[in-house]
């Protein structure tokens, strides 16, 4: 059986080595080892990489949606606050885990020293 695509496995929150075990132990905490294949995930560290991408993408989505709403509907400011503040939170939290998984999988794919299996 062929190995799964590590990037897709990482984005799905699965082990980039086997695609079966969980990559995360909690919402964003990386598991120590894969429970399916025993791969050591403790050295994986994505740093601030996922947050940077999420900030840029969420900022683009929310800022342009808010500008579009303002220029087309002209709602009062409280409507903007009620819509766009929760939307920012939802978009950021929704994107953070897949992006962190993708960054960890990219370390695995490129055999980065922090993620290398000894």
> Using the rule CB under 5 A, which residue among 34, 62, 102, 115 binds Zn ion?
34
Does residue 6 interact with Zn ion by CB under 5 A? Answer: no
> Nearest CA to 37 among 75, 88, 86, 3?
3
Minimum CB separation of residue 46 from Zn ion in Å reads 17
Does residue 21 interact with Zn ion by CB under 5 A? Answer: yes
Minimum CB separation of residue 39 from Zn ion in Å reads 5
> For the chain, how are helix, strand and coil distributed in percent, rounded to 5?
55, 5, 40
Which span (31-39, 73-81, 92-100, 109-117) binds Zn ion, by CB under 5 A?
Answer: 31-39
CA distances from 109 to 33, 65, 89 (A): 17, 35, 30
Does residue 108 interact with Zn ion by CB under 5 A? Answer: no
Q: Do 49 and 103 contact (CB within 8 A), yes or no?
A: yes
> Using the rule CB under 5 A, which residue among 18, 57, 87, 112 binds Zn ion?
18
Cα 40–Cα 92–Cα 16 angle in degrees, nearest 5: 20
> Using the rule CB under 5 A, which residue among 17, 30, 96, 104 binds Zn ion?
17
Q: What is the token pair recorded at 96?
A: 């953070």
Q: Which residues of this chain interact with Zn ion, rule CB under 5 A?
A: 15, 17-18, 21, 34, 36-37, 39
């Amino acid at each position: 059986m062929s190995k799964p695509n590590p990037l897709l496995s990482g984005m799905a929150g699965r082990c980039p080595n086997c695609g079966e075990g969980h990559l995360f132990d909690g919402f964003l905490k990386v598991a120590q080892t894969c429970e399916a294949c025993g791969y050591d995930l403790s050295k994986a560290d994505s740093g601030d990489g996922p947050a940077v991408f999420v900030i840029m993408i969420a900022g683009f989505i929310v800022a342009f949606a808010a500008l579009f709403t303002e220029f087309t509907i002209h709602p009062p400011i409280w409507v903007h606050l009620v819509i766009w503040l929760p939307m920012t939170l939802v978009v950021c939290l929704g994107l953070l885990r897949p992006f962190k998984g993708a960054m960890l999988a990219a370390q695995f794919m490129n055999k980065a020293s922090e993620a290398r299996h000894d």
